[in-house]
Structure formats: C-alpha cells, structure tokens
Structure 1
Amino acid sequence: MDFLRNILLFYFLYNLMLFTSIISAKPASFQQDFKVTWADSHLKFVEGGNAIQLKLDQSSGCGFASKYKYLFGRVSMKIKLVPGDSAGTVTAFYMNSDTGTKRDELDIEFLGNRSGQPYTLQTNIYINGKGDREQRVNLWFDPSLDYHTYTISWNHYITVFFVDQVPIRVYKNHERREIPYPKSQPMGIYSTLWEADDWATRGGLEKIDWSKAPFFAYYKDFEIEGCSGALSCAAYQELTPTQARSYRWIRVNHMVYDYCADKSRFPTPPLECTAGI
C-alpha cells in the first residue's frame, strides 16, 4: 500500500508540476506583462489606453519587452505600421533569450518602404547565436491602414510565423539530423521601432527621410500562451491541410527572398534547407 501511495503521489506531483509550468495570460495586459526597455518618453498609451504608440525621431527610437520568458508558446499582437514614406525604419516583434552571443531568437521585422511600394516582412531564426536564416515576403495588404495580427508559435516540433492566421514561415525540428533547433532557452517577447537605413530598405539604397518624422507604429491586443517548464503549449507537429495550402500560396505569390535559394551566400545549402523546413 505504501508503494501504491507513493506512485499515486508521484503522478499527482508530476501533473501538478506540468500544470504550474504553464503560464497563461491570454489576453495579456501591457501594464502587467510588459515593461519599457528604452526611451520611455517615446512610448505612450493611445486609443483610450487600449493601444501603445511607439515613436521614432532623430533623437531616438524605442522599445518594450515582456517581464517573463517562455520556453515554448504562442505569442501574438495586433500592429499598425508606420504609414507613408517609411523607408529606413524597422518595426520589430521578436522572441529573444537575451543570452548574448549564444542567444536564441525568432524575428519578425517590418522593413519600411517608399510610398506606394509593398511592405516587406522579414523573418529570421537564431539558434545558439547563429542566424543568417532570413526569409522575406511582401505583404498582400497595406499594414499601415489598420491593425493586423502577427503571431509567433513554437514548440518542441515546429516553429511557425503567422500573419492574420496565415502561415508565412515554417521551421521544423530536425535535430535527429544534427540540425539545430531553438528548444533549450526560454525567450522573452520584444518589440522596437528604430532607424536602420544602412540595410532596411532595398539593402540600404533608400535612406530615411527625417522631414517625414516623427514616425509612429501602434500595438494592441497582446496575447500570450506560454510555458516555463519542459513541456510545450499547443504541441502540434504539422500544419493543417488548410494552413498548408495557404503556406504554399504565400511562398509562390509573395516570397521575395529565401536564404535557402541564395547560392551567392550559400553555394552549399544549409542542412535545414535540404531537410524540408
């Protein structure tokens, strides 16, 4: 009987540990779940306190970050981007382990444009400090006219970036083939608005026009579903058939750069590019 009680106690404590390892704040509150990381004078509440405005001018950009880190999870927020001539600006939403040169990072970066040109969304993945995994898609709508939902979802099996629930980037776990995957470092949520006209628009050819400053981006409806323990949240392993069709449509019609196809940078494709990412 003591042996049976010990077994039952073990499973009770184990399940309790799994339950408490899940930190869920959905929807999240900026005041409770985030903090300003730099230039707090350039962030303010707008729309009756329901949204955050980020400002970029010649004196500074700005940024904020989550108060907590998550080993796996799903994070989303609605963003309205800099309108008009935004060349040279970068609005970023990303996950970062904040571990220096050995960091893991999942990036969404909106690269500003000249008026009338498509907005380019760049994704990148850093694992143990190594990045160089850029993909870019041109958005199929004007993201400065209204809010759209941007999501990063990652678990032990698969990492997916979404725009309005449409998958635009997939990176699978192929560690069995000795391909690195971001699964060992909890990551915080970060967002910034900053000047990067040395590379952001047409590789740095289009410079920022400070006569158009200040530049503004807007954020609201933060959602976080994350895990601080070893288990993943929403541990799906593949896209659904509907998601897979949407993903193919994105790659055929809106992808403008894929590091896997860049033979000038990678004469021999990186291993993950041949593993079916």
Structure 2
Amino acid sequence: MVYSPFFGLALTFVIWGSLIVASKANFYSDIDITWGNDRAKIVNNGEILQLSLDRYSGSGFQSKNEYLFGNIHMKIKLVPGNSAGTVTAYYLSSQGPTHDEIDFEFLGNLSGDPYILHTNVFTQGKGNREQQFYLWFDPTQDFHTYSILWNPSQIMFSVDGTPIRVFKNAESLGVPYPKNQPMRLYSSLWNADDWATRGGLVKTDWSQAPFVASYSNFEADACVAPKSSSSSSSSPCQEASGSAWLSQEGLDSKGKERLKWVQKNYMVYNYCTDTKRFPQGLPPECSLS
C-alpha cells in the first residue's frame, strides 16, 4: 500500500442567538471525560487526551457543546500493535430513540493487518448506511486528522483533508436528513470482540492491555446550539453567511478526484452496492452517489 497524508482557524461571531465558533480546543475547556475513571486522562497542559481500555473497562469523552451543523476536526493516533477486538469510536450524536448520528469507528485488527474504518449515518434513529475503508497509511504510527463536515446540503467524511464519503441531503427523495437535532461530539475506546474483528472470530488479547488511543488538535468550526435547543428547533446556523463550509454543496474537481481514488482503491464495503441486503431495491439516496 502507498502511504501519504495532508491539512487551518478563524473567528467567533454571534448569529441568531447562537455562536458559530472556530476554535482549536484545549481539552480541559472543551471536553468532558464521561466514563472510565482514570483510564481517560488529559495531559500536556490540555493538548493531548488519551483513552485506554483494559479487561475491566474502556473509557470515553464528549464535547461540552452541542452543535447544529459544523466542520469538526480531530487528530487521532490509534491503538498500535495487536488491536483485535477493540473499537475506537469518534462520532456526532443527538439523544433519544429517534436520534441522528454521524459515525467514524475504527475496528482493530491483528498486528500487521490494516484497521477497518467504518462509517455510518443515522437519521431519526435509523442507520444501516455503512461504508467501510482501509487507510492508505498506518494510523497507529502518528496522528492523522479525521473530519466531519455537516451542513444543510451534505455530510462529508474526510481523512487528512481527503474526502472519503459524501452523504447528500436526499429529502426530495423522501429520505430524512439530520438538520433539526443538535449533536454532541463523542469518542470512546471499548471492547467489541463479539463482532469487531473478522465478525468476532478474533478475540481481544488482554495480555496486550492497556490499549491506548490518543487525541489532539480538536477544532470545531461549528454553530453551538443554544442550551434550550430541542429536536423541533429550527437551525440557528441555517441563514448564516461567511462560512464556506456551511454553504458547501459538493466537491471541486480535485475533491472529486480524491474521493474517486479512495473509493476505488480503499473502499471495502458499500451498502449502496449490496443488492443481497436490499433485494427490493437499493435505498433511494444511493441514486445520488
């Protein structure tokens, strides 16, 4: 496999009673560790956050703010060595049975085998929109940037600035789109050896514990939802101007080329081509791919 990489800051301004904030975060001020006790820790004066997993528990964190549209970036260095059975999840999600969610999940593997990057989009509690990829570098050797651009027109997943997946707003086809429920950023490191590696055939080797994933350079160029936001509230960012990510509706020619390159060479599963799973016809949003 060929290894390569790629990869910005801004201002703060008030719109419709909410903030569009572009910030390079300090983990102490922008993140709450939510579970795992001392398995999760912030170090280097707030610049690095580490999650760890042992046979007793994993760990996790969430953003202090909720967002209603945003361009979110995080540098992550994944669990090295034999990471089989482990999952490092990094995602945006609202709450409740009809929640919306935008997922990156990194499925661990045996030493020498590549991680699988699993992506999914949930709208109103329904997911089943999985696409999976290998990466074109070793994600355990250094930090790489994993980004979610979420605006009224599209959701774009990117790695080191290279788009790997675009989920377009297909409301015109009757497909719900996440646009009303504020979402918080979450991440966790946990044991999923019943399914994560080769369908659960390869179990977690606890002699390798603790497993550690590291995070840095959290950036949220995003609209912070008011604390009183509810799932029925209108978007506080929808009429905002001056943020290129908010009005972006597609990719330029270079972005399209990079997307095609990734999907041709590194995609290992696409629900939009799985006719066995959808014998009555592929989901309608697949026609926009």
Q: TM-score, normalised on structure 1?
A: 0.90
Q: Determine the structure 2 residue equivalent to 1:86.
A: 83
Cα deviation per residue 1:119-174 (whole Å; 9 max; x = unaligned)? 11000000000001110000111000000000011100011000000001100012
Which residues of 2 match residues 12-51 of structure 1 at below 5 A?
Answer: 18=15, 20-47=17-44, 49-51=46-48
Letter in 1 for 2:64: K
Secondary structure of the residue aligned to 1:71 is: strand
Q: Determine the structure 2 residue equivalent to 1:122.
A: 118
Which residues of 2 match residues 54-65 of structure 1 at below 5 A?
Answer: 54-65=51-62
1:201 counterpart (184, 197, 202)? 197
Q: Determine the structure 2 residue equivalent to 1:263.
A: 275
Q: CA deviation at 1:20?
A: 4.5
Q: Determine the structure 2 residue equivalent to 1:238.
A: 250
Distance 1:155 1:68 in 2: 17
In structure 1, the gaps of 5 or more residues are 1-15
Q: Determine the structure 2 residue equivalent to 1:8.
A: none
Letter in 2 for 1:56: L
CA contact (8 A) 2:105 2:118 kept: yes
| Deviating 4+ runs (over 2 angstroms) | 16-23, 45-50
Matched, 1:191 2:187: yes
Q: Determine the structure 1 residue equivalent to 2:127.
A: 131
Q: Determine the structure 2 residue equivalent to 1:178.
A: 174
Letter in 2 for 1:150: Y
| Higher fraction of helix | 1
Matched, 1:167 2:163: yes
Q: CA deviation at 1:25?
A: 4.2
Q: CA deviation at 1:78?
A: 0.4
Q: CA deviation at 1:51?
A: 0.7
Distance 1:17 1:74 in 2: 17
Q: Give the number of aligned pairs.
A: 260
Secondary structure of the residue aligned to 1:31 is: helix
Letter in 2 for 1:270: P
Judged with a 3 Å threshold, the aligned counterparts in structure 2 of structure 1 residues 17 and 28 are, in CA distance, closer, same or farther, namely: closer
Q: Determine the structure 1 residue equivalent to 2:231.
A: none
Letter in 2 for 1:217: A
CA contact (8 A) 2:16 2:237 kept: no
Distance 1:104 1:49 in 2: 29
Q: TM-score, normalised on structure 2?
A: 0.86
Cα deviation per residue 1:213-260 (whole Å; 9 max; x = unaligned)? 110000011100111314265220011111110000001000000111
Matched, 1:251 2:263: yes
CA contact (8 A) 2:73 2:148 kept: yes
Letter in 2 for 1:214: P
Letter in 1 for 2:271: Y
Secondary structure of the residue aligned to 1:124 is: strand
Q: Determine the structure 2 residue equivalent to 1:273.
A: 286
